[in-house]
Structure 1
């Protein structure tokens, strides 16, 4: 059985440069959906360095990254890879879709 999709927001509410945190009820995972120049990406809303929500940080549209406010770790919004210390592990990336006028995501890990 494939995991259920979680509704994030109406598609028109997530403008370029904006992000929206959501909670995947099925898996208990916080997910952050980010609009990077019109493309939507979803990452686990948790820094891999010290379990702190990435949604408290800022997106750098030029670099395509998000920075954790706790210790300055940065992650690539497109694939979740760590870009600098103190983080060395990537954050999980999740699928995003726009359907029926809404933005949806899910934790697709087994």
Structure 2
């Protein structure tokens, strides 16, 4: 499988996330406060909630429902109540466009 274009970097505000579905896989595309783009599984492992509706803080994405925060680089939960990680996907930015390959998991 190859990477698919999901949006332009300009469509992602700093410290924001958006949900995309690629080949049936829900992914949160996140631009952290420093401008780096990340792609992690969009479903909180604690409560089956969309993480893209949550809050981007530092290197994490926090679930709005119960407060679990997940690392944008490893997918590991950074606090309870979640204890299972979310997947992290390969993301590439080329000419201002964001590409994700849902078949390439960097973690989990």
Structure-2-length-normalised TM-score:
0.85
Q: Residue in 1 aligned with 2:85?
A: 90
Shift of 1:52: 1.1
Q: Residue in 2 aligned with 1:57?
A: 54
Q: Which runs of 4+ in 1 moved over 4 A?
A: none
Segments of structure 1 that go 5 or more residues without pairing to the other structure are none
The secondary structure found in structure 1 opposite 2:103 is: coil
**Bigger strand share:** 2
Is the aligned partner of 1:74 residue 2:69?
Answer: yes
Q: Which digits, 9 at most, give the CA deviation of each residue in 1:42-67, with x for residues without a partner?
A: 10100011211101111113xx1111
Q: Which has the higher Rg, Structure 1 or Structure 2?
A: 1
Q: Residue in 2 aligned with 1:108?
A: 103
- Please tell me whether the aligned partners of residues 8 and 20 of structure 1 are also in contact (alpha carbons under 8 angstroms): no
**How well do the aligned residues superpose, as a CA RMSD in angstroms?**
1.7
- Please tell me whether the aligned partners of residues 41 and 96 of structure 1 are also in contact (alpha carbons under 8 angstroms): yes
In the alignment of these two chains, the number of paired residues is: 104
Q: Residue in 2 aligned with 1:16?
A: 14
Segments of structure 2 that go 5 or more residues without pairing to the other structure are none
